[in-house]
Amino acid sequence: MADLDERAAAALMAKTLDEVGKAVVGQRDAVRLVLMTVLARGHVLIEDLPGLGKTMLARSLARALGLTFARVQFTPDLLPQDLTGTLVFDQRDSDFQFRPGPVFTQFLLADEINRTPPKTQAALLEAMAEQQVTTDGQTRRLPDPFVVVATSNPIEFEGTYALPEAQLDRFTARIRLGYLDPEVEADMLQGRLTERVDEHAISSVVTADELVAARRLRAQVEIHPSVVDYIVSLLAGTRRHSKVSVGASPRGGLALGALAQAAALMAGRTFVLPDDVKQVAIVALGHRIVVRPELWASRTTGDSVVAEVLSSIATPAARPR
């Protein structure tokens, strides 16, 4: 097992960001958030418009982290066994053998997850929550580390299936990429059109053992009781907000705390600051909030509710004694 301290872990994560940045131009903050989610032993939903580099980001990060990678294109006819695996009759042994599905990998890209029916979406729930798959009455462990990065197109409704709240709650974070600044976009186009930028040229800069060690180190990052109280106050604020019918769950609090620990570790610290919590609160909690139905036509979203809660709750001392 690799031996790391917080400085070595932070240096490895910075090196990973630099390596991914060779192919994913102008999205360093988004890549950092995905990397935080990986350190937090979580899964991430990338929800944004087509053509913004969601798939490239996932593939490049998997390559830089040295993880085995599988991509599943979710379609309306995709069956649960297409994802988890199925029994196949082996004529040589005259017996049924289990053929693992693509979920048996370290880094799974669930591309356009909202294009498959809820039954197939639900096949991922056990894998994401418990890192295992139960098929034909037998439970099989998934590799460690195991990360799901799902993508979703928010502007198309025909032929899509909205992710239920239970599925959304399994994602540690939801992020959006957004359009690049004109100067950055021009540089990206120039690099891609002249083949100066090649995602396949990305090298592995982290081993699986180093990533597992960094994850364990993240769990040792100190989170002061006052910061925990701050997280609980944020959760309570989403639940009593006048625009909300369902607030953030306790799982959301765990995700928020773990992401804050990851942010501290990537900064080379062994303790969490309140600013670490504020930095990741929207991506950790926004997708877990159900806005009141009468406000669906307005601009009110889970993200905007979290932003209001953040501004209404006092921030604790930066480094309490």
Report whether 125 contacts 75 (CB < 8 A): no
Taking residues 38-45, report their average pLDDT: 95
Task: Average the pLDDT over 284-296 and give the result.
Answer: 88
* Banded pLDDT at 233 (limits 50, 70, 90): very high
Q: For the ranges 50-59, 88-97, 154-163, which has the lowest average pLDDT?
A: 154-163
pLDDT at 177 > cutoff 90: no
The tens digit of pLDDT for each residue in 270-279 reads 999 999 999 9
Quote the pLDDT of residue 196: 66
- Most confidently predicted of 9-13, 166-170, 300-304: 9-13
Please write the tens of the pLDDT for every residue from 65-110. Answer: 999 999 999 988 888 888 998 878 777 777 778 888 899 999 999 9
Q: Residue 49 has what pLDDT?
A: 77
What phi, psi does 98 have (nearest 5°)? -80, 125
- Residue 63: pLDDT above 70? yes
Check for a shared fold between 25-185 and 220-314.
no
Q: Which of 3-7, 42-46, 264-268, 276-280 has the lowest mean pLDDT?
A: 3-7
Chain segment 211-227, per-residue pLDDT in tens: 999 999 999 999 999 99
- Closest among 283, 72, 71 to 177, alpha carbons compared: 283
Q: Which CATH architecture has domain 220-314?
A: Orthogonal Bundle (1.10)
State residue 158's pLDDT score: 66
Residue 200 DSSP code: G
Please say if the pLDDT value at position 176 is more than 60: yes
Radius of gyration of the chain, Cα coordinates, nearest whole angstrom: 20
Neighbours of 251 (CB within 10 A): 13
- Cis status of the peptide bond prior to 182, with omega within 30 of 0: no
pLDDT exceeds cutoff 60 at 320:
no
Architecture of domain 25-185: 3-Layer(aba) Sandwich (3.40)
Examine the pLDDT at 231 and tell me if it is beyond 60: yes
Share of the chain above pLDDT 90, in %: 49
The reported pTM is 0.90
- For the chain, the structural domain boundaries read 25-185, 220-314
Q: At what angle do helices 250-266 and 225-239 cross, to 10 degrees?
A: 140
Tell me the H-state helices in 85-156. 118-122, 125-130
203's tokens: 């090298």
